[in-house]
Amino acid sequence: MSDVKKNEESMAQAVKEILSGGLTRTVLSVLLGFLVGALFMIGSNKEFIEALGYLFSRPSDALGAAAQVVSEGYGALFRGAIYNADADTFEKAIRPLTETLRLGAPLIAAGLGIGLTFRVGLFNIGGTGQLIFGMIFATFVATRLELPFVLHTLVALIAGIVGAALLGALVGFLKARTGAHEVILTIMLNYIALYFFTFLMRNPALLQETRATGNPKADPAAETALLPKLIGDNYSLHWGLIFALLAVVVFWWLMERSTIGFRLRMVGFNPDAARSAGINVEKTYILAMALSAGFVGVAAANQSLGVAVGVTPSAHANIGFDAITVALLGGSSGPGILLAGLLFGAFKAGAPSMQVIGVSPEVLGIVQGAIVLFIAAPPLIRAIFRLPAVQNSNALGAVRKRLFSKGGAK
């Protein structure tokens, strides 16, 4: 009986660990975010507001209107981001999914970069500036150099990574040498990078398009530099997704298996202890910012080489700022950022479909903000769902060991 009781206690403790874990809080935060979005859709629906006038005499009308607007809104999101069952052909039906993957790819790459700095104890909100700097380098190679196919794409990709990494390294250097806060540095460099990019596209000797129209714009990337289509010319999905997935693998190996990753994590956990252990914290900050911006550079190349039209100053598409929310939602881990990037890519892909049926696309922005709010406030989630406090007993690991050991629990 003692063994049975011990197993029951271990199982109960394991359940508490699961309920108090980060994955549970993340899932509940996403669900709450969608619930907040549903409330905004209901509150702005004309039929529901009219039904409130006679709510107590016929409450079913208000409930029906609320259910209808939510189902239609999120149904449109699904059709625009995952699968359109109303399409004539299967090719058209899966087009929304390909758009989600295409739009999610740069968010994944940039999210990895921001997540890396979070792991090191830094707050990099300069993703926009680093992405723009990467676009400058990638666009220059793609429009000004003549190279063979494949080689041209790879050189432009590397140029985008290097360009972004240089700006990131500058932030790390200034922080390490002068003590300036990385938040202030990255905010100012965001503006500098944007206006510098605009200046380059207004100068015929630099990046301005050959047939200048007066608006800042670069020439289209050469065909040899464009990212190849992934599943045919009928879809916009290109190899940017593959590079983003490779970036996830590199990120995981770098942070979880390499010596550099161990040093980065140690500095993020306790800089003073890392310094006592012989780690050069200042150089680690420079390296961390350079590596972080390098991942953002993959997103920069995606923006410059993914379309056959010239880029403009707005081509950054707020990816740098969205990457912050992606990194937060993904818990700064490779797999988490991958899923978070795809979720936010689905929001971008599905927003136009929601707008067509009369739902404001800003609702999805509210959903995103609500998700991040709940992610950033674990005590709030625990209070709402009455979750147990964070457990550190490792009972879950013990249960796994019993379940999957050769002899089982004895």
Distance of CA 114 to the CA centre of its chain: 9
What gap in Å lies between CA 184 and CA 167, rounded to an integer? 14
Location of structure tokens 């899923």: 339
pLDDT tens-place string over residues 52-104:
888 888 889 999 999 999 999 999 999 999 999 888 899 999 999 999 999 99
pLDDT tens-place string over residues 319-355:
999 999 999 989 889 999 999 999 999 999 999 999 8
pLDDT at 404: 46
Check pLDDT > 90 for residue 2: no
Buried b (16+ CB within 10 A) or exposed e, 9-42: ebbebbebbebbeeebbbebbbebbbebbbebbb
Location of structure tokens 């147990």: 388
pLDDT at 380: 84
- Contact indicator for 112, 253 with CB cutoff of 8 Å: no
Location of structure tokens 């550099």: 260
Q: What is the mean pLDDT of the chain?
A: 86
Binned at pLDDT 50, 70 and 90, residue 6 comes out as low
* Residue scoring higher pLDDT (349 or 6): 349
pLDDT, average across residues 356-383: 86
pLDDT at 7: 54
The token pair at 230 is 């992934």
Q: Where are the domains of the chain?
A: 23-82+365-410, 100-332
Phi/psi of residue 146, nearest 5 degrees:
-115, 110
Check pLDDT > 70 for residue 220: yes
| Ramachandran category for residue 147: left, alpha or beta (phi over 0 → left; psi -120 to 50 → alpha) | beta
pLDDT over 90 percentage in the chain: 57
What gap in Å lies between CA 76 and CA 71, rounded to an integer? 8
pLDDT at 53: 87
pTM of the predicted model over 0.85: yes
- Contact indicator for 328, 110 with CB cutoff of 8 Å: no
Residue 230 DSSP label: S
Count Cβ atoms within 10 A of the Cβ of residue 272 and give its class: 0-12 exposed, 13-18 middle, 19 or more buried: exposed
Binned at pLDDT 50, 70 and 90, residue 402 comes out as very low
pLDDT, average across residues 245-262: 95
For 87, 222, 259, the CA distances from 96, given in Å and listed in that order, are 11, 27, 41
pLDDT tens-place string over residues 124-169:
999 999 999 999 999 999 998 889 989 999 999 999 999 999 999 9
